[in-house]
Amino acid sequence: MTRLTEPWSHQDVVFAADRLDGVTIELGIFGHCAFANISFKGAELRDCHFIDCIFVGCYFRKTLISGCKFDGCRFIDCDFPKTRVQRSSFAFPRFSGCFISFEEMRPNLPSEPGLRVIAANELAREAQAAGETNDARLYRIAALRAHEKHLWAGFRASTSWYKERYDVLARLRSGAAWLASQVNRLVWGNGERGVVLLGNFLLLTFAVFPLVFYLLRDNLSTPRGSLTAADYLLLSIDNMTARSGFSGISLLSTSTRAATAFEVAMGLVAMGLFVTILFRRITRWR
């Protein structure tokens, strides 16, 4: 084992049980090195390049990481309280028992869609394990958006990399997957944003279907006589809650029955998606 001192250039070295509090490490290059139980409290890592390195039990409290590159590095049981990460990149990272907050990492996630998916998924898993559900959700959403960008780039074959690897069939599959993801996103926020599903549910229940039934009003009847705006709304709510019949409105044509059947189906699908979101969150809390 070697103490971490200048010059900041090392290969295949193990550094352990050291305190580098307040130290500035600048223009360092470390390849296949291991850092174990080292305190970087208040230290500054500037324009350093870490290649296939491993950090175990390291302490990064108030550490500034600026302009650094971490290629294929692993972080195991490290602590990142109030760590500042600026203009840095993390390619193929592995995190275990630790993570960096989403707001700090967001500008530093890889710009390449495929690499961004890997980094975001790693951090999402560890944030969830640490009980930081909001950070975990934001990382998952970032991974989903990066995957969509990857699919769209594959469909368009926008760069030489995609042109070399995507034939016509692969491009069509990417386009179909991208379209499916967009629909998924619009319907229920890819299962990560229940508020999107709730908004769509309320829009259909209180605006879209009441308008449909207003347009079909000549084929509806009620014992009370003429129909009012409240009746169209009540019928829509009745349908969205599995057509229990509490609205008391009769359907007199095939068109109104078809609209009702479609709305009932939409309500059942929405309820199923609500249950799915709830189940996902409960299982992630465990």
Average pLDDT over residues 192-198: 85
Confidence tier at 7 by pLDDT (50, 70, 90): confident
Q: Considering only 67-81, 128-142, 243-257, which range has the smallest mean pLDDT?
A: 243-257
pTM given for the model = 0.79
Q: At what angle do helices 254-285 and 229-240 cross, to 10 degrees?
A: 50
Contact 150, 117 (CB under 8 A): yes
pLDDT tens per residue across span 114-167:
999 999 999 999 999 999 999 999 999 999 999 999 999 999 998 898 999 999
pLDDT above 80 for 280: no
Architecture per CATH, domain 194-285, reads as: Orthogonal Bundle (1.10)
Question: For the segment 33-66, what is each residue's pLDDT rounded down to a tens digit?
Answer: 999 999 999 999 999 999 999 999 999 999 999 9
- E strand or H helix that includes residue 178: helix 168-188
Residue ranges of the domains in the chain?
1-98, 100-187, 194-285
Count of CB atoms within 10 A of residue 211's CB? 12
Of 142-146, 177-181, 243-247, 249-253, the range with the lowest mean pLDDT is: 243-247
Q: Exposed, middle or buried: residue 6 (CB in 10 Å: 0-12, 13-18, 19+)?
A: exposed
**Angle between the 194-203 and 168-188 helix axes, to the nearest 10 degrees?**
70
pLDDT band at 1 (very low <50, low <70, confident <90, very high): low
pLDDT(199) > 90: yes
Rounded to whole angstroms, the Cα distance separating 36 from 44 reads 18
- Give the Cβ contact number of residue 91 at 10 Å: 16
Query: In the predicted model, is pLDDT for residue 229 greater than 80?
Result: yes
244-256: average pLDDT? 87
pLDDT over 70 for what percent of the chain? 98
Q: Which of 4-8, 28-32, 148-152, 163-167 has the lowest mean pLDDT?
A: 4-8
| CATH architecture under which domain 1-98 falls | 3 Solenoid (2.160)
Q: Which residues of 12-36 are buried (b: 16+ CB within 10 A; e: fewer)?
A: eeebeebebeebebeebbbeebbbb
Does residue 263 register a pLDDT over 70?
yes
Q: In the predicted model, what is the mean pLDDT of residues 173-201?
A: 89
- pLDDT > 90? residue 283: no
User: What is the band of 261 on the pLDDT scale with cuts at 50, 70, 90?
Assistant: very high
